[in-house]
Structure 1
Amino acid sequence: MDDDRSKSPARASRIPDTSFHPMLGIPGEGWVTGNWKLETGNRKSHGSLLSSKLPTAEVNSTDRLYSVQSTQYSRNIGHELRRAATNPKWRDQTLTTTGRSRLTQSSLFLPAPSGITSPFGSSSIAISIAINSLLTFKTSTTTIPPNVSLRPANWPHFSPQGMRQTLSDHFLTPRTMKFSIALLVTVGLASAAPPQTPLSLSSTPSDIIDASPFLSFHRDLVQIPSVSGNETAVGSFVADFLESHNFTVIKQPVPPSSHGNTDRFNIFAYPSASLSKDRPEILLTSHIDTVPPFIPYSLHDDADSNSDVLIAGRGTVDAKASVAAQVFAVLDILRADPTANLGLLFVVDEEVGGLGMRVFSESPLNPSPSPFHTVIFGEPTELALVAGHKGMLEFPLIAKGKAAHSGYPWLGQSAISAILPALSRVDILGNIPAEEGGLPSSDKYGRTTVNIGRVDAGVAANVVPASASAEVAVRLASGTPDEARDIIARAVKNSTGDNEHVYCDFAARSAGYPPQDLDTDVSGFEVITVNYATDVPNLKVSEGVKRYLYGPGSIHVAHGDHEAITVGQLGEAISGYKRLIEAAIQRTRVN
């Protein structure tokens, strides 16, 4: 658009309705505006959105009327700006555009909440502004007239129509480049609060959770203990929730673990409206089991903003964050398109071997050729799209000896002495070049790593040990498990002088799998690789099926005593899953 000062302001064009904010549950519709300034006597605050190269938000305020939390990254989500006004003088403040503002590749969306018809008065007002990539609309470089003022007390009435008309009269709409970011504004009257009450700065973390169906669902998931082997209760909760939202739910039995429930099950669900179709074409999947021990759900109340509220407890990250975000992303998509051919799969036993996913993979629910053209796996990736993860090989290294009195060690054979050279050699195989007998590396995944996680040997200090064993885990950066087995067996043989009483029992564990390459062809995500194992290799799909790995939270806290995630990252995950789903739907329409 030309920067022609002789032109009069254009009326703002209407933005399509958005029926659901995934984090706060706020309905709304409205118009685009640009840079803004708030004046209260001699106090001023102003803010703007920067270019799409580094989407962020800035607020300069001498009296700290506003605070802003900003994720400095190209995911263009995660910002929250909040202000609570409890003084009736707020209605006399003026919203004024910054003098001859220039707006570049950015725009703000101001919804007008439905059902609010009361005028401004002495009632407590709470304004919640959250930036999220819920909408995609057009922006460009344009200008906004200087010194355009909006005085709330002068508005004819605070209704959706009044708010929209006032904004229409005074603000230009940017028009050319797509940029996924929105500014959601909601106003609630304390004297007549709607069911989903906007939160003021005095809201407690518990208020924030209670006000959001999504965050409440995540809380309820985490509050149910579901250590691997004991997933029945959480499975029933998820199944009941999906059935209450008109999903057809199949509870697929999974054999019990040695110490767990006998009636645990996977959950395979799809919208009942899609019953006419054989199978969902787009599958979102994660797991409902956790590592031990159970850690109760808790909230930290020292956050500067709602998005920074920290939720702690076992499974808050791995992987009940992904489960909750996937469910609400699917609900949001179905709200806009009830015919979307989507499915959800939540499995058990992922943390201890992946039996749940293998049971599903080998069942009639996953026929060949694969009914799915896209599978979206949920794991903690810090909201990045994963290009792949290393392969896996696990095995015990065993040594046999002969017991004897430690005062006469020559009468026995020490299994510990026999196993030590083999352990020392295996431990460094990832650091040795492949051409020198080491395990292979790759440019994509780096070097193969070896971890000796457990050693068990002997019975007492005065007894020559008759047996010794070690549990070994290898993360493969290149090659196949069979190739790695050959390299490891040869290293053990060479390091022990071909001692037949020291060996790797490869048959005692699963077959393992090579590095898993994944798809990253959806724009708007950071792309990374990870070193941890997932259920990706346990689900058999046909060649050409798109596989994505994405989710909220960090693996670095996932299995620890301080597993936790922020409210903001949970909300962002819904948007990320929606983008992946929408890209998959678009591919279907194109093809």
Structure 2
Amino acid sequence: MALIDDTRAILGDLIAFPTVSRDSNLELIAYAADRLGAAGARVHIQTDETGHKANLVASLGPETGGGVVLSGHSDVVPVEDQDWSSDPFELREEKGQLFGRGTCDMKGFIAATMAMAPHLGDLDLSRPVHICLTHDEEVGCLGARRLVEEIAGWDEKPSLAIIGEPTEMRIVEGHKGCCEYTTVFTGLEGHGSRPELGVNAVEYAVRYVTRLMELREMLKGRAPAQSRFEPPWSTLQVGRLAGGVAHNVIPGHASVDWELRPVSDADHRFVCEAIAAYARDDLLPAMREISADADIVTHVIGEVSGLEPVDDNEARRIVSALTGANGADVVAFGTEAGLFQKLGMSVVVCGPGSIAQAHKPDEFIEISQLSACLDMLQGLAGKLSTAR
């Protein structure tokens, strides 16, 4: 069977697993483990604490360091309230396009790597190839965060990673991080006629938001020289403020949902340290003058590291040679790439399909995009083969 036909068949199987982030991905992982194991891969499954989600690492080639990671997330976004023309979990082909939830984001890349696995298994490789499938990327890169923690403990660590998010096979060498938080305020309820006897959680939440907005303005002045991002600085925004029950009741509880998209780890630390200090040194003492039980707690919903462009990037050089691409881009959307970069790996994002189709009804991928991805993977196999 031709590689593209095998890829199409595997993609159909993958799409049939409705791996929406809220649900288990274990059936897909078991399917991938069987196929990759049959291709000669050394398969390791990392199950999460719930037992309902798992990552997979399938390694081919020598058991040495310096390996190449090909990584994709197995979860997809929901399809409820979307107007699909056909069953989103059944692959449909029409006019050179393959439709289904996850076709471009990002089961198309996974299918291509799985189709290539038997061919990689037949080669005498100069360095290992690690096919990685992760869970819960769409809700905070939860699986990848656990996976890189495990990889950090390997004696023989990989040195290069290609994250196959949909870029239309363009090379992406940078994106901002995405950090989401919910800050909860516990005050003291009371009658609205005696506000001095209560701790108004909403009022303290507003003061907290005001400080966030001050920090947002400060971030503009911290934009790196020659930043290629749009906008060039780290951004901060408040998505939701909730609290209170009635006009005449001092609210005892409030919450603020906010996000930070940093261009650098330094900006992330700057904001988190500054807002934590404000809550600790300014807000909490005032609240606890009235109620010792008053509190401010920030919950981390997700912290996804950005991918920072670097001058010396082996992954960029290799993928550029394989695809013929000149230069590399930065993008607005986030990926798991920064987590691998934090391990000291050389990383790029490059995969089939367009991000414009992701998360939409009638999501699709062009068959020509899958073919281009297979060309890149075949070129990589040739480059790693000792017989070349």
Query: Do these two structures clear the TM 0.5 threshold for a shared fold by scoring above it?
Result: yes
Q: Work out whether 1:549 is the aligned partner of 2:349.
A: yes
Do the aligned partners of 2:67 and 2:160 also contact (CA within 8 Å) in 1?
yes
Letter aligned with residue 346 of structure 1: L
Indicate which of 306, 312, 322 corresponds to 2:100: 312
Cα 1:563–1:541 shift into 2, 3 Å = same
Report if the CA contact (8 A) 2:58-2:130 is conserved: yes
SS of corresponding position for 2:42: strand
Aligned 1:29-428 pairs, distance under 5 A: 212-228=5-21, 230-256=24-50, 262-271=51-60, 274=61, 277-278=63-64, 281-293=67-79, 296-297=88-89, 305-306=95-96, 309-313=97-101, 315-334=102-121, 337-339=123-125, 341-363=128-150, 367=153, 370-405=156-191, 412-427=198-213
Residue 484 of structure 1 deviates from its aligned partner by: 2.4
State how far apart, in whole Å, the 2-side matches of 1:354 and 1:433 are: 25
Give 1:330 shift: 4.0
Does the 8 Å CA contact 2:79/2:88 hold for their aligned counterparts? Answer: no
Distance 2:215 2:362 in 1: 33
Matched, 1:564 2:367: no
Counterpart contact for 1:249–1:267, Cα < 8 Å: yes
Find the aligned partners of 2:328 and 2:254 in 1 and give their Cα distance.
Answer: 43
Partners of 2:149 and 2:159 in 1: CA distance: 18
1:512 CA drift (Å): 6.2
Deviation at 1:495, TM superposition (A): 10
Q: Are the equivalent residues in 2 in contact too, given 1:476–1:515 (CA < 8 A)? A: no
Structure-2 change in CA distance of 1:564 and 1:424 (3 Å): farther
Give the whole-Å Cα distance in 2 for the aligned partners of 1:504 and 1:325: 47
Q: Do residues 444 (structure 1) and 214 (structure 2) align? A: no
Larger relative contact order (Cα-Cα within 8 Å, sequence gap ≥ 6): 2
Q: How many angstroms apart in 2 are the aligned matches of 1:515 and 1:580?
A: 22
Q: Rate the CA distance shift 1:346–1:280 in 2: closer, same or farther, 3 A.
A: farther
Residue of structure 1 equivalent to 2:334: 533
**TM-score, normalization: structure 1?**
0.53
Q: Corresponding residue for 1:464?
A: 250
Report if aligned partners of 2:139, 2:302 keep a CA contact under 8 Å in 1: no
Alignment RMSD, CA only? 3.8
CA contact (8 A) 1:392 1:515 kept: no
| TM-superposition CA deviations, 1:263-313 (whole Å, max 9, x none) | 533222134xx4x63468222122212233577235667x5x42xx24132
CA contact (8 A) 1:426 1:491 kept: no
Q: 1:391 to 1:310 in 2, by over 3 A?
A: same
1:541 CA displacement = 6.9
Residues 1:230 and 1:495: Cα distance change in structure 2 (over 3 Å): same
Partners in 2 of 1:299 and 1:508 — Cα distance?
Answer: 36
Given the superposition, is the C-alpha separation of residues 466 and 245 from structure 1 closer, same or farther in structure 2, using an over 3 Å criterion?
same
Q: Distance in 2 between matches of 1:465 and 1:541?
A: 42
**Structure-2 change in CA distance of 1:495 and 1:529 (3 Å):** farther
Sort the Cα spacing of 1:396 and 1:499 in 2 relative to 1 into closer, same or farther, 3 A: farther
- 1:491: how far off? 7.1
- Paired residues of 1:425 and 1:492 also in contact (CA < 8 A): no
Contact 1:286 1:346 in 2 (8 A): yes
- Against the structure 1 CA distance between its residues 527 and 512, is the aligned structure 2 distance closer, same or farther, given a 3 Å change threshold? closer
- Report % sequence identity: 24
Contact 1:300 1:310 in 2 (8 A): yes
Unpaired segments ≥5 residues, structure 2: 81-86, 289-293
Name the residue aligned to 2:3. Answer: 22
Q: Shift in Å at residue 369 of structure 1?
A: 5.5
Question: Quick one: which amino acid aligns to residue 376 of structure 1?
Answer: I
CA distance in structure 2 between the partners assigned to 1:433 and 1:450 by the alignment: 8
Larger Rg: 1
CA distance in 2, matches of 1:213, 1:286: 18
User: Which secondary structure does the structure 2 equivalent of 1:372 belong to?
Assistant: coil
1:561, distance to aligned residue in structure 2 (A): 4.1
Aligned partner of residue 45 in structure 2, secondary structure: strand
Q: Is the 8 A contact 1:270 1:280 kept in 2?
A: no
SS at match of 1:351: coil
Which digits, 9 at most, give the CA deviation of each residue in 1:455-490, with x for residues without a partner? 332245564321111121101013423222234456
Which residue number corresponds to residue 114 of structure 1? none
SS of alignment partner, residue 447 of structure 1: coil
Q: 1:229-268 CA deviation, whole Å, 9 max, x = no partner?
A: 5111111111122233333322233222xxxxx2533222
Report the TM-score, using the length of structure 2 for normalisation. Answer: 0.76
Residue 270 (structure 2) pairs with residue 483 (structure 1): yes
Aligned residue for 1:319, secondary structure, equals helix
For 2:367 and 2:282, how far apart are their aligned partners in 1? 52
Q: Displacement, 1:367? A: 4.0
CA distance in 2, matches of 1:334, 1:239: 14
Cα deviation, residue 515, structure 1: 4.8
Task: Tell me how far apart the structure 2 counterparts of residues 504 and 385 of structure 1 sit (CA, whole Å).
Answer: 42
d(CA) in 2 for partners of 1:492 and 1:254? Answer: 33
Structure 1 residue identity aligned to 2:349: L
**Following the alignment from structure 2 to structure 1, what is the Cα–Cα distance between the partners of residues 329 and 296?**
33
Contact 2:12–2:90 (CA<8 Å) still a contact in 1?
A: no
Counterpart Cα distance in 2 of 1:351 and 1:472 = 17
- Matched residue type, 1:265: A
Deviates more, 1:262-271 or 1:473-482: 262-271
**3-state secondary structure, aligned to 2:103:** coil
Q: Return the letter of the residue paired with 2:40.
A: N
CA distance in 2, matches of 1:278, 1:479: 31
